[in-house]
Amino acid sequence: MIKLTSDAARQIRIAAKQSNLEGLPLRLAGTKNADGSIHYGMGFDDNKEDDTTFTSENVDLVVSSASIDLLDGMTVDFVEIEPGKPQFIFINPKDSNYKPPQ
């Protein structure tokens, strides 16, 4: 399962409305880099035959069979790490860059 925080879901709904893409699910993708970290991608897309679907915070998500093993168990958040620069972050225990909360 993949989870969205309420802040991430709110931003995704805003982006869908601004882009006139309401009703399309959000596709999440991941590929493993040579160092074990994961490169993430996301965008609105139609559901494909081999996709796994999730709903989190009333947002429909789709993940291809090629990415599901890397992304299952991940949480997506939308935070302001630097003042004035909010961004999506991917909290994924399967990523070599993951650091558990202390």
pLDDT at 79: 95
pLDDT at 47: 87
Whether residue 56 contacts residue 9, with contact meaning beta carbons closer than 8 Å, is answered with yes
* Superfamily of domain 3-91 in the CATH hierarchy: HesB-like domain (2.60.300.12)
- Annotated domain spans of the chain: 3-91
Whether residue 68 contacts residue 52, with contact meaning beta carbons closer than 8 Å, is answered with yes
Nearest CA among 49, 41, 47, 42 for reference residue 19: 42
Alpha-helix residue ranges (DSSP H) falling in 19-79: 68-71
**Stated pTM of the model:** 0.91
pLDDT at 101: 74
d(CA 28, CA 75): 11
pLDDT at 28: 97
Residue 30 token pair = 């991941």
Q: Which residues of the chain have pLDDT under 70?
A: none
pLDDT at 66: 93
